[in-house]
Amino acid sequence: MSLDPATVRRIARLARIGIDESDVPALQGELNGILGWVEQLNEVDVEGVTPMVGTGHAALRTRPDVVTDGNCRDAVLSNAPDGVGPFYTVPKVVE
Amino acid sequence: MSLTELTIADAASGLRARKFSAVELVRAHTDAIDALNPRLNAYITPTREAALKAAQQADEALVKGEARSLTGIPLGIKDLFCTNGVRTTAASNILKNFVPPYESTVTANLLRDGAVFVGKTNLDEFAMGSANITSAFGPVENPWKRNGDDAALVPGGSSGGSAAAVAAGLAMGATGTDTGGSIRQPAAYCGIVGLKPTYGRCSRFGTIAYASSLDQAGPMARSVRDCAIMLQSMAGFDERDSTSVNCDVPDYSAAVGRSLKGLKVGIPAEYRAEGLSAEIAAAWQQGIEWLKAAGCEIVDVSLPHTKYGLATYYIVAPAECSSNLARYDGLRFGERVPGDTLDAMYEATRRAGFGPEVRRRIMMGTYVLSAGYYDAYYLKAQKVRTLIRRDFTEAFQKVDVLLTPTAPTPAFAQGEQSDDPVQMYLNDIFTVPASMAGMPAMSVPVGLGATGLPLGLQLIGRPFDEETLLATGSALEQAAGFTHRPAIRAEATK
């Protein structure tokens, strides 16, 4: 499997990482190097093997669906890069 | 002996016997940081004033007889643990001004037991690296030197700042996190002890996530006993981490020095891999002899999927990181780079905020999870991961603990290894399999190589059997009599 420049641009877009056209060749080379190397997993017979999610030392616990950290609005907002009053701001998304 | 050369165990008794005060002990370390950190760069954020204030409170507790296990002990905290009111950066520009309004469970546990934090230690950006050269705050220098050579060596990664700080006497112990070897490999490169507990033993709450199914916090210190003391405080069930395992925390210090008579030690054939340096192979053989002499039975075992550990890791970890790091979008916290549209803001923010290694891993992860490639890469890797765990489970039916090298070579110089990411990833070849399987593992320094650099051996144990690691590690430590100290250290600057 080998990534072409269009795929590199598409991955960057999906990952929301801005890239310049001049970044594409280097990224293509590095990602292809890693992907070529992980191809060795094709040697392994995984027929009938259950995929491992987490390490299986314990079942995931659930908790009641209730608010447990209420009344700390100011703490939650304290690191907002651009806030107005009790709100986060974003660039306009609807014209 | 200088206060910066003491073990945690000896300092704790010294404080109780009033041989010195907590303020004196902490000041010795903050002075050492002032003197050496400009060179070593082991700390991103030293916290001298807060530490001295905490030391005064520790002295008051000591006077009142209210001291706990770590009262007055100066520790470094990897800058991946959120600390309430103290900047926590993950060594990334995207979090360079992030001040958490809450405390991670592990650091809260250490504070509960009286520890004094002297600063936040440097690391690879978001813990992604094996040499501590990807930090946005610059590389860390290993305090060790090759014989007759002043080249700056890497401390290993990602907990390289913690390892360098402990080795150089800028902290008595430090927290690390280990995703694929990030505690054990830097411990080996810096000649200290590092323990990655069983996945689920220490809470991950408030630890900045890299790869959630692998990340685990653990102690780094200059002796096995010190690691036991720190782990005692760090470990335990936490409601706030859904992967925290609710089982009893045993008395770890009691395991240190325990008899090894009849213990079965497995030697996995597959760890005699290509690229293993001759001196590390020799240290491994020496370790086998020492454990034999301590009454262990040596058993050859096979972990047939060992060679696939790294390739599996470099699918699973990036997949999880691409998901975990999606939260850094310039919206709720972190540095924002403005853009005309929401997407343009995301893209500009993430390009400016993340370094090349982090961007590369996010993109790898995005690709292996993308439509059309999920089964070929991610699902396949999860299945291989099952086989890697099965190897360990089968081996542990025959033996109690495994002994292997920690890293294929001693520390290397900054810029000495190739720019090829795959070459850099090979440093973790011996540590990654235990991480994939969630097993506890530790690195113990056992000697110096031909160039005068420390060599570490790794012990891998059964799930939740950190006690056997500590018992076996202390036997290795005792037999090795590792008292070597690095060229650059607090004591040597006096």
Name the maximum alpha-carbon separation found in chain A: 57
Query: According to the model, what pLDDT value does residue A62 have?
Result: 82
pLDDT at residue A56 greater than cutoff 80: no
Whether B287 maps to a domain, the answer reads no
Query: According to the model, what pLDDT value does residue A69 have?
Result: 73
Is B329 in contact with A37 (Cβ distance < 8 A)? no
CA distance B207 to chain A (A): 17
Query: According to the model, what pLDDT value does residue B186 have?
Result: 98
Smallest Cβ–Cβ distance between A57 and the set B245, B312, B384 belongs to B245
SS3 assignment, position B343: helix
pLDDT at residue B494 greater than cutoff 60: no
Whether B291 maps to a domain, the answer reads no
pLDDT at residue B376 greater than cutoff 60: yes
Average pLDDT over residues B132-159: 97
Task: Provide the H-helix boundaries in B416-494.
Answer: 421-425, 432-437, 466-480
d(CA B40, CA B46): 13
Torsion from C-alpha of B105, B107, B110, B115, nearest 10 degrees: -160
SS3 assignment, position B264: strand
What's the total number of domains in chain B?
1
Say how many CB pairs under 8 Å bridge A and B: 165
B364 shares contact with chain A (CB less than 8 Å) = yes
Tens-digit pLDDT profile for residues B10-63? 999 999 999 999 999 999 999 999 999 999 999 999 999 999 999 999 999 999
Higher pLDDT, B492 or B193: B193
pLDDT at residue A21 greater than cutoff 80: yes
- Is the pTM higher than 0.95? The answer reads yes
Query: According to the model, what pLDDT value does residue A1 have?
Result: 59
Residue in chain B closest to A27 (alpha carbons) equals B360
Whether B206 maps to a domain, the answer reads yes
Is A49 in contact with B420 (Cβ distance < 8 A)? no
Whether B94 maps to a domain, the answer reads yes
Task: Provide the H-helix boundaries in B8-47.
Answer: 8-16, 22-40
Q: Return the H-helix or E-strand segment holding B445.
A: strand B441-448
In this structure, what CATH number is given to the domain that contains residue B62?
3.90.1300.10
Whether B29 maps to a domain, the answer reads yes
Q: What is the mean pLDDT of chain B?
A: 96
Smallest Cβ–Cβ distance between A41 and the set B312, B332, B422 belongs to B312
d(CA B409, CA B427): 8
Query: According to the model, what pLDDT value does residue A22 have?
Result: 95
Average pLDDT over residues B114-119: 98
CA distances from residue B14 to B6, B30, B305, B429 in whole angstroms, order as listed: 10, 19, 48, 41
What ipTM was estimated for this complex? 0.94
Burial class of residue A43, CB neighbours in 10 A (0-12, 13-18, 19+): exposed
Q: Which residues pair with B202 in a beta bridge?
A: B235
Is A1 in contact with B464 (Cβ distance < 8 A)? no
SS3 assignment, position B133: coil
Which tokens is B19 given?
């041989």
Residues of chain B found within 8 Å of residue A16, distances taken between Cβ atoms: 326, 329, 343, 346-347, 350
B379 shares contact with chain A (CB less than 8 Å) = yes
In which domain, by residue range, is B49 found? Answer: 8-259
Tens-digit pLDDT profile for residues B431-448? 999 999 999 999 999 999
Whether B455 maps to a domain, the answer reads no
Query: According to the model, what pLDDT value does residue B63 have?
Result: 97
Q: Which residues pair with B153 in a beta bridge?
A: B413
d(CA B306, CA B356): 28
Whether B267 maps to a domain, the answer reads no
Query: According to the model, what pLDDT value does residue B467 have?
Result: 98
Tens-digit pLDDT profile for residues B299-315? 999 999 999 999 999 99
